[in-house]
Chain A
Amino acid sequence: MTPALKIDGLRKSFGGLPATNNVSLEVMPGERRLIIGPNGAGKTTLFNLITGDLPADDGSIRVFGEEVRGMLPSQRAHRGLARTYQIITLFPKDTLEHNIALSLLGLSKTRWNAFSPLARYGHLYEEARRVLALVGLDALANRPVSEVSYGDRRRLEIAMALAQKPRLLLLDEPLAGLSREERASVKQLVSKIPRETTVVMIEHDMDTALDLAETITVLHYGSVIVEGTRADVVADPRTREVYLGH
Chain B
Amino acid sequence: MKALGWIALAALAAGLPLYAGEFYVNLTSQILIAAIFAAGLNLLVGYGGLSSLGHASYLGVAAYSSAWLSLNLAMPHWASAPIALAFTTLMACLFGVIALRATGLGFLMITLALSQVLWGLGYRWVSVTNGDNGLSGLTRPAPFGINLDGATPFYYFCLVVTVFALWMIARLVHSPFGAGLRGTRDQARRMAALGHNVGLVRWLTFVYAGFWGAVAGLLYVYYHKYIHPTALSLTSSAEGLLAVIAGGSGTLAGPVIGAAIVVLLKNYVSAFVERWNFLLGLVFVLIVIFMPDGLVPGMKRLWLRWRGERR
Chain A residues within 8 Å of B, Cβ to Cβ: 51-53, 72-75, 77-78, 82-83, 85, 89-91, 93, 98, 101-103, 105-108, 110-119, 121, 160, 164
Contact = CB atoms under 8 A, between A and B. Distances in A.
A143 to B, nearest CB: 17
B172 A115 contact: yes
Interface residues of B, number: 25
10 contacts: A53-B189, A53-B192, A72-B192, A73-B192, A77-B192, A77-B195, A90-B190, A111-B177, A115-B175, A118-B179
Nearest to A93: B186
Contact of A106 (B171, B174, B191, B208): B191
A72 B268 CA distance: 51
- Interface centre among B171, B187, B193, B197, by most A CB within 10 Å? B193
Given A89-B190, A90-B187, A105-B176, A114 B195 contact: no
Interface of B: 171-172, 174-180, 183, 186-187, 189-199, 204, 208
Given A72-B197, A91-B186, A91-B187, A112 B192 contact: no
B191 A112 contact: no
Contacts of A113: 175-177
A198 B78 CA distance: 59
B177 A112 contact: yes
Contact of A111 (B174, B176, B192, B208): B176
A234 B189 CA distance: 35
- Interface centre among A74, A93, A119, by most B CB within 10 Å? A74
A91 B185 CA distance: 10
A117 B197 contact: no
Contacts of B177: 111-114
Contacts of A74: 192-198
Contacts of A73: 189, 192-193
Nearest to A81: B193
A77 B194 contact: yes
A4 B70 CA distance: 62
Nearest to A48: B189
Contacts of B183: 91, 102
A106 B187 contact: no
Given A112-B177, A118-B174, A160 B194 contact: yes
Contacts of A112: 176-177
A118 B196 CA distance: 16
A239 to B, nearest CB: 31
B193 A105 contact: no
B176 A78 contact: no
Contacts of B194: 74, 77, 102-103, 105-107, 160, 164
A110 B193 contact: no
Contacts of A90: 187, 190
Nearest to B179: A118
Nearest to A51: B193
A119 B187 contact: no
B208 to A, nearest CB: 8
A105 B192 contact: no
A53 B177 CA distance: 22
A93 to B, nearest CB: 7
Given A73-B192, A74-B196, A90-B187, A101 B179 contact: yes
